[in-house]
């Protein structure tokens, strides 16, 4: 598995994400700076949570136009796996790799708690390893997690099975309680919850592990 995590100015979950990925993948995960213009040979690029550029203009808007993103868009169009968590999800929508947008939580509050989620599809390289497990719990920590998409867009997401995760008790006003979406080709996933914060038994929750195991199996085959 050749994987990398991108650090933007203001990212703050980049190290946690690398540690979680390394523990599941069993190999080192590269750290990439947002200013780089070339990607090494990779199977997976992950965009971490945080507050890139202080959320100026719109959350993720400035990061989505940083030099490395042009390369990541090309990488995704060639079929490379791209994962965006929290601010990473916001960046992926701003970069046009995922449909919809993320706006201020309906209740206006920053939300930091563990929530119940439904794994809405296991037909993806990010969710296959959840298997029969359809109800998981993951932490959220965001101010702009309210997923917005118009009716036509929502119908397309539902028709193509692109909704990866839904909140069981919608905390932020997201359209159709959407917590995570796939692109049409299913090689890009963005989600607001933090699987990397639920990937170590010492922290009391490992519901994030199957997401990373899915990616490992997608790249190396099941049983890896």
Partner 1 sequence: MKARIEIRLKPGVLDPEAAAIERALRQLGFAGLKGVARAKVIEVELEARGPEEAEAELRAMCERLLANPVIETYAIALLR
Residue 117's beta-bridge partner residues? 136, 167
What x-and-dash track marks residues 103-132 binding partner 1 by CB under 8 A? Answer: xxxxxx------------------------
Of 39, 148, 176, 219, the one binding partner 1 (CB under 8 A) is: 148
Which residues in 42-61 contact partner 1 (CB under 8 A)? 57-58, 61
143 binding partner 1? (CB under 8 A): no
Three-state SS at 174: coil
Distance (Å, rounded) from C-alpha 128 to C-alpha 210?
Answer: 8
Helix (H) or strand (E) holding 118: strand 111-119
Q: How far is the CB of 120 from partner 1 (least distance, A)?
A: 21
Q: How crowded is residue 72: how many other Cβ atoms within 10 Å of its Cβ? A: 26
End-to-end CA, the chain: 11
Interface segment toward partner 1; rule CB under 8 A; list 26-34, 45-53, 76-84, 97-105: 97-105
Taking the least distance from each CB to partner 1, the nearer of 126 and 147 is 147
- The encoded tokens of residue 191 equal 């989600």
Q: Out of 15, 30, 65, 166, which residue is the one contacting partner 1 (CB under 8 A)?
A: 65
């Amino acid at each position: 598995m050749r994987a990398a995590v991108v650090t933007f100015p203001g990212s703050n979950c980049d190290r946690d994400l690398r540690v979680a990925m390394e523990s599941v993948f069993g190999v080192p995960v590269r750290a990439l700076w947002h200013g780089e213009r070339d990607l090494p040979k990779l199977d997976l690029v992950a965009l971490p949570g945080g507050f890139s550029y202080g959320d100026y203009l719109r959350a993720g808007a400035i990061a989505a136009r940083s030099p490395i993103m042009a390369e990541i868009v090309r990488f995704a169009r060639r079929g490379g796996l791209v994962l965006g968590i929290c601010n990473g999800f916001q960046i992926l929508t701003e970069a046009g790799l995922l449909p919809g947008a993320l706006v201020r939580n309906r209740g206006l509050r920053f939300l930091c708690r563990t929530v119940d989620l439904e794994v809405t599809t296991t037909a993806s390289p990010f969710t296959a390893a959840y298997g029969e497990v359809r109800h998981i719990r993951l932490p959220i920590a965001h101010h702009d997690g309210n997923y917005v998409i118009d009716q036509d867009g929502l119908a397309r997401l539902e028709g193509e099975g692109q909704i990866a995760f839904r909140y069981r008790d919608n905390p932020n006003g997201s359209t159709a309680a959407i917590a995570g979406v796939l692109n049409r080709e299913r090689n890009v996933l963005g989600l607001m919850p933090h699987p990397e914060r639920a990937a170590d038994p010492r922290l009391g929750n490992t519901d994030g592990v199957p997401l990373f195991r899915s990616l490992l199996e997608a790249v190396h085959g099941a049983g890896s």
